[in-house]
Chains A and B, each alone.
Chain A
Amino acid sequence: MKHLLSIDELTTDELQELLRITPSFAEVASRRIAKVPALRGLTVATLFYEDSTRTRLSFEVAAKRLSADTLNVSVASSSVNKGESLRDTAETIEAMGIDAVVVRHASSGAPWQLTKWLDASVINAGDGWHQHPTQALLDCFTLQQELGSLQGRHIAIVGDIKHSRVARSDVSAFTRLGATVTLVAPPTLLPPATETWPVTVSHDLDSVLADVDAVYLLRMQKERMRESLVPDLREYTALYGLTGARAARLGPNIPILHPGPMNRGVEIAADVPDLDQVVVVDQVRNGVAVRMAVLFMLLGSGNSGLPADSLPAAMAQASQAPVSADAESEEVSA
């Protein structure tokens, strides 16, 4: 695995493997000295063309917990506009000898384009409406903590699906882990051709909530009003918001997730976030562990496609022999 661009590009094995190793990283993050030397000497750059303090911070903390050096490549908002050549930025980064680039971009597909011009690993931290794979991983990990397993579980994703990279990533991840997903949104906030998605679609939140194991609320952006996608926020909240009454009917055992930041009073009533079943803080905490796992998988596990001839002589020799000379655990079979 060289890059993490989308959930779809992960095999189900890789997806499960990432979730399997995440607790090891959560344990490191919970230590008093929460730092291990795993990625010493490697440099991770965050390249954010769109503001997202929490995602950038999460990746930075994850990299630092693994002893990688971190760099913020600040992209002036003026150059994000039409004149920006992605290739110029990529080549600048390449010249700095960076090992992994965490990229957030308002344009769908930008991380794919970067991989064409970069030798470094590229991690998609959100591209346009398209994908946000580490968000999906942390959501899966959080749901596994809450529900044990996603197999056979029913998850409702509620809100602006059309413009949501979180929804696109989560649908793919949840369903591949065996969950069934219902999208709940007004037709104007659904993407086209949802019949080709592995989901069911509903416009009736109350009937869906009667039969779910978890609820995932998406952020409702106020810009959508101007585009006539919904008439007004009050009506949106009445039909699709998690009101206090709906939360009460849901009962205390159904976890409620949200990618943050929440619009209290819009997709979620002002006091609902304070309920115990709202696991937003767990999501943030798990985000660091999942991103550590991703960084380690890409940079530290030797799976990044390092050519054999770049190994030190002893390693290369060892690779000839059935057993690596410096790998004790190798000959121990479970």
Chain B
Amino acid sequence: MSEAYLIRGGTVADAVETRTGDLGIADGTIVAVDDLPSGAIEIDASGCIVSTGLVDLNAHLGEPGDEAAETMVSAGEAAVLGGFTTVLAMPDTHPCVDTAAVVEHVQLLGAHALCNIEVAGAITVGNKGENLAPLAELAEAGVRFITDCGSGIQDPLLLRRALEYAKPLGLTIAQPADCEALSRDAHMHEGEWSSRLGLAGAPAEAEEINVMRDISLVRLTGGRLHFQTLSTAGSFAIVSAAAQSGLPISSEVTTHHLRLCDADLAGYDTNLKVTPPLRAAGDARAAMSAVAAGRVDVIVTDHTPHTTDRKERPFDHAATGTVGLETALAAALCSGVPHEVVLRAMSWRPAELLGLGSPEQRSLQVGAPADVVVIDPNETWTVNVAAMATLGTNSAFEGTELTGRVRTTIVGGRLVVDQGKVAA
């Protein structure tokens, strides 16, 4: 049941313009303030940024199969608290999303979430990297992105077939770039710090080799490919050069790769064990400038919740990944890039890639869907995973002070976050 809202006095920022003013919402869409029914609830947004809702292209939501670490309900709360109105659920669940039946099951589960859940499918049956999943059936069920997660497809012939077969179906192949033969048994980035800490490392080249290989196969097939979680300076350079040459590729980076580096592993904090590993400080700087220059399309959370026991292990036996839905926006906002750049990478561009509409179509104009977020760019807070909505206990930013916080989130005209808390 959607109410009417009047968001007052904020800086309304969308892909078309940035203006100071009020925003009216009624019946799930943006309306002219004059057309608001009487009794519209006022939301004070002075000093705040009002934006279209954020879209996360890479989140692992636990359900189905890992409900101890996360459920659609907890993930949905985490998402809207983090400003996300749409989240693309990764298919590496149990069961894996490799048939239309599982897609529909996840869509039904996703209906319990406060945000919109889009479902990504697997490229191969069981994410095993052996036989293609029924891609046409998945596309028919509403899947737009397919990915095998993990290290991505290792067999170049299989990847070629996937790119070719998926092309007419309108599917985007999404995959991390990781040459397993070079990164096997690695627990961190290879370099000065792996050398010092005595941990086996994966060189940047393990990622870059597959970036180059995948670009070649895109050139060969004309298929669309989205690079997930790029992390090295070399990868950003190679991908942006290829994208400029007109190939149908796009790319993403996580907020933890923007903000953290391998030197942070000195205390063996397993919450900082992620895939791909935190790279050298220079790679993080390269990621930041790639975001600032628009050479990376999207900032993602790669939200990967775990229960405590999977992280309270020796570093080389600990699970990889960090939660991110509730910290990503703040981590990106206080990185020093202008907020328009952050919103482009976290809302306008991922929505476009996911087929939710062009930045213009999703701008906050009368008649647009009311997925809206109000962000206080100046609120400073300290990350405390125990107080967050996610059931996951593993935050790479635990204890970090961040600036920028979501005050209000409206999904489809429904107020789901009010005053920074999940609305009752």
Contact = CB atoms under 8 A, between A and B. Distances in A.
A and B touch in the complex (CB under 8 A): yes
Contacts of A191: 194-195
A258 interface: no
Interface in B177-197: 190-192, 194-197
Nearest to B314: A107
A85 B192 CA distance: 29
Nearest to B198: A130
B155 interface: no
Nearest to B267: A112
Nearest to B190: A192
B388 to A, nearest CB: 21
B27 interface: no
A118 to B, nearest CB: 13
B314 A110 contact: yes
B316 A86 contact: no
A5 to B, nearest CB: 10
A284 B316 CA distance: 30
B199 A113 contact: no
B312 interface: yes
A107 B316 contact: yes
A249 B196 CA distance: 34
Contacts of A110: 268, 314-315
Contact of B317 (A82, A127, A130, A196): A82
A107 B317 contact: yes
A175 interface: no
B312 A194 contact: no
Interface in B304-359: 309, 312-317
Contact of B313 (A84, A108, A127): A84
B223 interface: no
B195 A108 contact: no
Contact of B312 (A85, A131, A165): A85
A128 B268 CA distance: 13
B201 interface: yes
Given A86-B313, A87-B312, A109-B268, A128 B191 contact: no
A17 B48 CA distance: 58
Interface in A56-85: 82, 84-85
Given A85-B313, A86-B313, A127 B198 contact: yes
A291 interface: no
Nearest to B201: A192
Given A109-B268, A113-B268, A192-B201, A128 B316 contact: yes
Contacts of B201: 192
B315 A108 contact: yes
Nearest to B203: A192
Contact of A105 (B196, B197, B309, B314): B314
A181 B270 CA distance: 33
Nearest to A8: B196
20 contacts: A85-B309, A86-B313, A107-B315, A108-B198, A108-B199, A109-B197, A109-B199, A110-B314, A113-B270, A128-B198, A128-B316, A130-B198, A131-B198, A168-B196, A168-B198, A191-B194, A192-B191, A193-B194, A194-B195, A197-B195
Interface string A185-223: 000000111101100000000000000000000000000
A196 B268 contact: no
Interface residues of A, number: 26
B191 A193 contact: yes
Contacts of A296: none
B195 A196 contact: yes
A108 B268 contact: yes
A109 B268 CA distance: 6
A48 interface: no
Contacts of B313: 82, 84-86
Contact of A193 (B195, B309, B312): B195
A174 interface: no
Contacts of A128: 198-199, 316
Contacts of B203: 192
A141 interface: no
A240 interface: no
Interface in B228-284: 267-268, 270
Given A113-B268, A196-B192, A108 B197 contact: yes
B195 A130 contact: no
Nearest to A131: B198
A129 interface: yes
A106 B198 CA distance: 11
A113 B192 CA distance: 21
A84 B192 contact: no
B278 to A, nearest CB: 15
B310 to A, nearest CB: 9
B192 A193 contact: yes
Given A109-B314, A128-B198, 16 more contacts: A82-B313, A84-B317, A86-B312, A86-B314, A107-B314, A107-B315, A108-B198, A108-B315, A108-B316, A109-B268, A127-B198, A129-B198, A131-B198, A192-B194, A192-B203, A197-B195
A288 to B, nearest CB: 26
A60 to B, nearest CB: 24
B276 to A, nearest CB: 16
A-B interface, 10 closest residue pairs, ranked by CB to CB distance from nearest: A130-B198, A109-B268, A107-B314, A129-B198, A108-B198, A191-B195, A193-B192, A87-B312, A196-B192, A109-B315
Contact of B198 (A84, A85, A86, A165): A165
B320 to A, nearest CB: 13
